[in-house]
Structure 1
Amino acid sequence: MLPARHRLTDRADFAATIRGRGARRHGSRLLVVHARVADATQTDARGESSPRVGLVVSKAVGNAVIRTRVKRRLRAQAAPLLTQLPAGTDLVIRANPAAADASSADLGAAMRHCLRGLLVGERG
């Protein structure tokens, strides 16, 4: 479970992370990870700059049981990665339909691959 300060819940924050200024994305067969890193001066509405994660799992992934399973697995894989993210980072993780048949390990590997591509691309 992600602590409340690490959850992205506001529609405007999702939109800014996916389509806003400075938004980046990296994808794989299972996932697409959208990221936006805030400046040092920007913080969220609560005055914190901790990294936040939001999930998008559409009906294309499967029925409610499958979508819930995918979300649970993604949250479990995202939680330990929060300490490696820069302060003020917002992530939106979008599951592709292939994620329905993927194991937790596969989802975690895809997430790490996408984050590595985003963070390396940011430095380079």
Structure 2
Amino acid sequence: MNYTYIALGMGLFVICLILYYAFFMTKEDFYKYTQDNLYEVPWRWEWKKKEIVNLKCHCLECGETLVYENDYLLHKTYFLCPSCESQKAVIGGGDSKYAFGIIKREINRKIRTKEYKDLIS
């Protein structure tokens, strides 16, 4: 048996393994960015591919997940703590869909500008 073919085969295997890890196994570090304080309350979320999922805000005092209430006349969304029974944040400009959109855009802006790197280190 010719050892040249064995060496060549092993070399190609190693090159393929390196290319696989370089292109498919590198995980972008923004996936570690899963929480931030925005609009005076802590927000937490998860990533599904490059999409923000399970976005929730929490009470600074007790950690409870805040509930929201839409004010369609004033175009504001109020975030309330059911445990503390108090208002924790207000986002103006629209309903809850609009408010959550603002938060997602702010998260994506921090990723684009690399500001999130200071928050995950």
Check whether TM > 0.5. Answer: no
Instruction: Name the structure where helix makes up a greater proportion of residues.
Output: 1
Q: Taking CA–CA contacts closer than 8 Å with sequence separation of 6 or more, which of the two structures ends up with the larger relative contact order?
A: 1
**TM-score, length-normalised on structure 2?**
0.29
* TM-score, normalization by structure 1: 0.28
